[in-house]
Amino acid sequence: MILTSAERSDSGTYTTLTILNVDQRSKGSYSLQVTIEAQVSSVKLSYSCLPTGVMKVNCSADGDNLHFSWSSDFNALPQLENGTSTVILEQDHQGKVTCHVENHISRDNNSVDLHQCPAQVSSVNVSYSCLTHGVVKVNCSADGDNLHFSWTSDFNALPQLENGTSTVILEQDHQGKVTCHVENHISRDNNSVDLHQCPAQVSSVNVSYSCLTHGVVKVNCSADGDNLHFSWTSDFNALPQLENGTSTVILEQDHQGKVTCHVKNHISRDNNSVDLHQCPAQVSSVNVSYSCLTHGVVKVNCSADGDNLHFSWTSDFNALPQLENGTSTVILEQDHQGKVTCHVENHISRDNNSVDLHQCPAQVSSVNVSYSCLTHGVVKVNCSADGDNLHFIWTSDFNALPQLENGTSTVILEQDHQGKVTCHVENHISRDNNSVDLHQCPDAILLLLSMACVILIILAVLAFCIYKKRQGRRRKANHVSGIEDNKSDTPSQDDKDLVYAEVTHIAMNRTKTRP
């Protein structure tokens, strides 16, 4: 039997087949089983790493009634002799694996090199950050090899998320859940993050400092933004006392130079600096005094130790308009009485002191100077003036002499002291002066003679008066006797004798007074 153009459908059992010998004689009829098969072709191998830690090797081929056998680097291994198209190997099995395929027609084989399986997907982590230009950056990370990323937002795949990378950029107003899906040839995994409103970025960083009373400097940093974190450097060197993460640091007062405040949050960062200078001295030794001026006003003065001082005033705890001048001196009316307080402050400290204003004394006026020559050879110079709380100072021809500096209204000088003597009178309100020219005092002998002459003249006048008085008594007695003799003959009348006497008193001057 000859089959031409045999096809797979020609397979079967043929029972009428007659077998002839060489003599063309029939040897009998037989049944024949005919099988028509396609030959082996297109043998292909592939392998995949399974997440369970094993490797699956698959073999495929074209043909009928295929039989598979396996060898690894030309060594037949027991686990490979399973006669199937798939074998499972340990993940650490490396090298060449060959698949042998055969049927009744033909055989063929192919090989594949097994390489280290990539790590499976694990530890998927999703985070996001708000960028300064108004967008949100979402980042996905995972452990494993040959990773592929895909994204969904609330289970909806968005076009901007389908970029196959580990990072996507979203608008800042995109809120909700974003999921990152990670896969490779071995496994897949995913994780999600909820996007919240982004905080405001850092802006308007401002640094200032103030000197405190206890010898330290307080440096303060402020900024606009949310969730701010502060760090500090001094002349670009981070100091331990500056690294406190707060907006305020306390430094020693002798710490000078540039101090920088660095401010950041999840969106942005910024910084600013301030130069620390020597702190001014704090306020101390506040002293308040006042003086009465000549034009009817009171000048109140305040002094204090310290730098950059500012003065303010209150009167009996009430701030008056004329007191609020910010200076160390105020002018008040002379009738302003009571307590006046001076408040002094600077950037470090403050202090105050008070003074009670009393009635101002009368000013100096009507200064008068006179002198007299005393008997014991000295000259007494006297000074008088109107006013309160007077103080006297003396000069002679503009030279202050020791004996003149006694602060009293009277000085005693030698008799030979000639020239101008000036009396200066002052109090808290005003001062004035006047002078007198001292002349030579008369000689002592002449003075004694003059005194003797005066005494003699006085005695003469007294003697004359006594004489006249006796004469008058004698005449009166004689007159009374005559009246009694002639009483009967002569009418009675009173005789009155009027006697006039002129007395001249000449005295020599011993004291000369000049205005």
Long-range contacts of 431-438 (CB under 8 A, 24+ apart): 431/364, 432/364, 432/365, 432/367, 432/385, 433/367, 434/367, 434/368, 434/369, 434/383, 435/369, 436/369, 436/370, 436/371, 436/381, 436/514, 437/514, 438/371, 438/379, 438/381, 438/413
Span of 25-34, 133-142, 182-191 with lowest mean pLDDT: 25-34
Neighbouring-strand partners of residue 221: 207
Helix or strand holding residue 313 (H, E): strand 310-315
Render pLDDT for 105-116 as a digit per residue (tens, 0 to 9).
889 999 998 887
Q: What is the pLDDT of residue 514?
A: 47
Render pLDDT for 25-51 as a digit per residue (tens, 0 to 9).
766 666 777 777 788 899 999 888 877
Q: Does domain 284-357 have CATH number 2.60.40.10?
A: yes
Q: What is the pLDDT of residue 255?
A: 80
Task: Please report, for the chain, the start and end positions of each structural domain, with discontinuous segments joined by +.
Answer: 41-114, 122-195, 203-276, 284-357, 365-438, 445-475+499-515
DSSP-based three-state secondary structure for 490: coil
List, in order, residues 6 or more apart from 506 with CB less than 8 Å away: 453, 454, 457
> Are 41-114 and 122-195 equal in CATH topology?
yes
Kindly state the average pLDDT of the residues 86-99: 83
**pLDDT band with cut points at 50, 70 and 90 for residue 124:** very high
Is the C-alpha dihedral spanning 47, 49, 50, 53 positive or negative? positive
Is the C-alpha dihedral spanning 205, 207, 208, 212 positive or negative? positive
**pLDDT band with cut points at 50, 70 and 90 for residue 322:** low
Render pLDDT for 197-218 as a digit per residue (tens, 0 to 9).
777 888 899 999 888 877 788 8
Q: What is the pLDDT of residue 163?
A: 61
Number of CB atoms found within 10 A of residue 113's CB: 10
Q: What is the pLDDT of residue 82?
A: 62
Q: Indicate the class that CATH gives domain 122-195.
A: mainly beta
CA distances from 8 to 35, 42, 340 (A): 8, 19, 130
What are the strands, taking DSSP E only, across 131-215?
135-143, 148-153, 167-171, 176-183, 188-195, 203-211
Q: Is the pLDDT of residue 513 over 50?
A: no
Q: What is the pLDDT of residue 438?
A: 84
CA distances from 98 to 74, 101, 409 (A): 8, 10, 141
**pLDDT band with cut points at 50, 70 and 90 for residue 77:** low
- CATH topology assigned to domain 365-438: Immunoglobulin-like (2.60.40)
Nearest to 391, CA basis, from 417, 356, 363:
363
Span of 29-38, 86-95, 188-197, 317-326 with lowest mean pLDDT: 317-326
More confidently predicted of 481 and 390: 390
Render pLDDT for 249-281 as a digit per residue (tens, 0 to 9).
888 877 878 999 999 987 788 999 999 888 778
Identity of the residue numbered 84: T
What are the strands, taking DSSP E only, across 359-480?
365-373, 378-386, 391-396, 410-414, 419-426, 431-438
Retrieve residue 500's tokens. Answer: 């006039």
Render pLDDT for 385-407 as a digit per residue (tens, 0 to 9).
998 888 898 888 756 666 665 67
More confidently predicted of 492 and 428: 428
**CATH number of 41-114, picked from 3.20.20.80, 2.40.50.140, 3.40.50.1220, 2.60.40.10:** 2.60.40.10
Q: What is the pLDDT of residue 367?
A: 92
DSSP-based three-state secondary structure for 270: strand
Identity of the residue numbered 514: R
Q: Is the pLDDT of residue 304 over 90?
A: yes
d(CA 392, CA 383): 8
Retrieve residue 512's tokens. Answer: 């000369």
Q: What is the pLDDT of residue 192?
A: 92
Neighbouring-strand partners of residue 262: 231, 271
The answer to whether 361 and 292 have CB atoms below 8 angstroms apart is yes
Q: What is the pLDDT of residue 261?
A: 92
DSSP-based three-state secondary structure for 77: coil
Kindly state the average pLDDT of the residues 328-336: 82
Helix or strand holding residue 362 (H, E): none
| % of the chain at pLDDT higher than 90 | 20
d(CA 65, CA 83): 12
Q: What is the DSSP string of 25-47?
A: -EEEEEEEEE---PPPEEEEEEE
Look over the chain and give the mean of its residue pLDDT values, rounded to a whole number: 79
Nearest to 20, CA basis, from 30, 32, 34:
30
d(CA 424, CA 421): 10
Homologous superfamily assigned to 203-276: Immunoglobulins (2.60.40.10)
Rg, C-alpha atoms of the chain: 69
